[in-house]
Amino acid sequence: MARFLLKRIFSATLTLFAVSVLTFLMFFALPRDPVSSICSKNCNPERLERVRDDLGLNDPLISQYAGYMKGIVTGRDLGSAQGGRCDAPCLGWSYVTNEAVSDTIARVLPVTLSIVIPAAILWLLLGVGLGMVSALRRGTWLDRAAIGFSLTGASLQLYFVGAVLLLVFVYNLRWLPVPSYTSLLDNPAKWASGLVLAWVALAFLFSAIYARLSRAQMLETLSEDFVRTARAKGLAKPKVYGRHALRAAITPVVTIAGLDVGGALGGTVITETTFGIQGLGRTAVDAVRSGDLPTIMATVLIAAVFVVLANVLVDLLYAAIDPRVRLR
């Protein structure tokens, strides 16, 4: 088990290294000169050259990369033009927002986490629950209702569902305030009421996929020999389904959930835009629009970290669920 864990962490580190190199190269491959967008109005060759020097763009590529990575690990001095000392994890200085990128991230990351994590819990419970119920009640009206629900969810778009939710609950019924982000630590009730619509919208769309997937998996598992064995032992249905069938049916759901949650943590652009909340996703889009390269770099890296972490987590969960995986 320890070896399994070490192997996964090693390969995850390699992946992250590759992503960071690629993102860094992208920085230079873009058709836009990072410097020209920084000194937009009163630009002259001397100022251009100074900014270029501040950014370290005159250094060799490798030492630039090394400097960037060093900044993430230990922090570094960026010079007075870029806010001076930049503590670890230093992600550079944004000339667009005029602040350290890590400060921007520290502000918007909790927003995205607050949207995605509760939504993911909700959509997993709802999706897997619906899938199980419809598999066990196959062919009944409950099954049909669940399939109808998941078809609806799978065919709708978030901006539509979000707009309808806003219209009904915020503007017509006035049950909820206009969505906004408040820190969970400051005011949990306000945190929840400001984000609950985003959770519901995300959960509705995502749970559709999970309901269909877990229904199909459960049906397949129910025809397995070991489920028949469990019944032949005289186990009651809740134990047959809950302990024997569910555990085997859940594995593919774990994989998809890992990919979805990992991806969503990298930024939920449409959700954030629909509900007017500034999270990681909108920050990334804004950065692309304004050519704010250090911020783009940071958001891409963070998204990659989440995807890789989610994959490691999925592998560990797999090993916890299925003992045969631990052998590999």
Partner 1 sequence: MDSSEPLPSGEPDDHPTVPTQRGNEDAYLRVRDLRVRFDTSDGVVRAVDGVSFAVERGRTLGIVGESGSGKSVTSLAILGLHDPRRTTITGEISVGGRQVIGLAEDEVRRLRGRDMAMIFQDPLSALHPYYTVGRQIAEAYRVHHPKVNRRAARQRAIDMLNRVGIPQPARRFDQYPHEFSGGMRQRAMIAMSLVNDPALLIADEPTTALDVTVQAQILDLLADLQAEFHSAIILITHDLGVVGQVADDVLVMYGGRAVEQGSVEQVLRAPQHPYTWGLLSSVPSLHGDADADLLPIPGNPPSLINLPSGCAFHPRCRYADRAGSRSRSEVPELRPAGADGHLVACHLSAEERATFYAEDVARVGVAR
- The smaller minimum CB distance to partner 1, of residues 60 and 238, is found at 238
Residues pairing with 100 in the sheet:
93
SS3 of the chain: the string is CHHHHHHHHHHHHHHHHHHHHHHHHHHHHCCCCHHHHHCCCCCCHHHHHHHHHHCCCCCCHHHHHHHHHHHHHHCEECCHHHCCEECCCCCCEECCCCEEHHHHHHHHHHHHHHHHHHHHHHHHHHHHHHHHHHHHCCCCHHHHHHHHHHHHHHHCCHHHHHHHHHHHHHHHCCCCCCCCCCCCCCCHHHHHHHHHHHHHHHHHHHHHHHHHHHHHHHHHHHCCHHHHHHHHCCCCHHHHHHHHHHHHHCHHHHHHHHHHHHHHHCCCHHHHHHHCCCCHHHHHHHHHHHCCHHHHHHHHHHHHHHHHHHHHHHHHHHHHHCHHHHHC
Candidates 31-39, 85-93, 236-244, 307-315 — which segment interacts with partner 1 by CB under 8 A?
A: 236-244
Position among 60, 80, 323, 328 found at the interface with partner 1 (CB under 8 A): 323
- The smaller minimum CB distance to partner 1, of residues 218 and 230, is found at 230
CB of 222 to partner 1, least distance (A): 10
Binding of partner 1 at residue 238 (CB under 8 A)? Answer: no
- The smaller minimum CB distance to partner 1, of residues 3 and 324, is found at 324
CB of 244 to partner 1, least distance (A): 6
Interface positions, 248-267, toward partner 1 (CB under 8 A): 248
- The smaller minimum CB distance to partner 1, of residues 41 and 324, is found at 324
Binding of partner 1 at residue 321 (CB under 8 A)? Answer: yes
Candidates 48-56, 180-188, 209-217, 243-251 — which segment interacts with partner 1 by CB under 8 A?
A: 243-251
Binding of partner 1 at residue 285 (CB under 8 A)? Answer: no
Position among 177, 229, 252, 276 found at the interface with partner 1 (CB under 8 A): 229
CB of 213 to partner 1, least distance (A): 19
Binding of partner 1 at residue 224 (CB under 8 A)? Answer: yes
d(CA 315, CA 5): 9
Position among 231, 259, 285, 316 found at the interface with partner 1 (CB under 8 A): 231
d(CA 177, CA 158): 19
d(CA 111, CA 280): 7
- The smaller minimum CB distance to partner 1, of residues 4 and 169, is found at 4
Candidates 42-50, 141-149, 152-160, 320-328 — which segment interacts with partner 1 by CB under 8 A?
A: 320-328
Q: In which residue are the tokens 């070490």 written?
A: 6
277 touches 198 (CB < 8 A): yes
Binding mask 132-161 for partner 1 (x = CB under 8 A): -------x----------------------
- The smaller minimum CB distance to partner 1, of residues 186 and 225, is found at 225
Position among 31, 45, 234, 238 found at the interface with partner 1 (CB under 8 A): 234
Residues pairing with 99 in the sheet:
94
CB of 137 to partner 1, least distance (A): 11
Residues belonging to the chain: 328
Binding of partner 1 at residue 247 (CB under 8 A)? Answer: yes
User: How many residues of this chain bind partner 1 (CB under 8 A)?
Assistant: 21
- Interacting residues toward partner 1 by CB under 8 A: 139, 224-226, 228-236, 239, 244, 247-248, 321-324
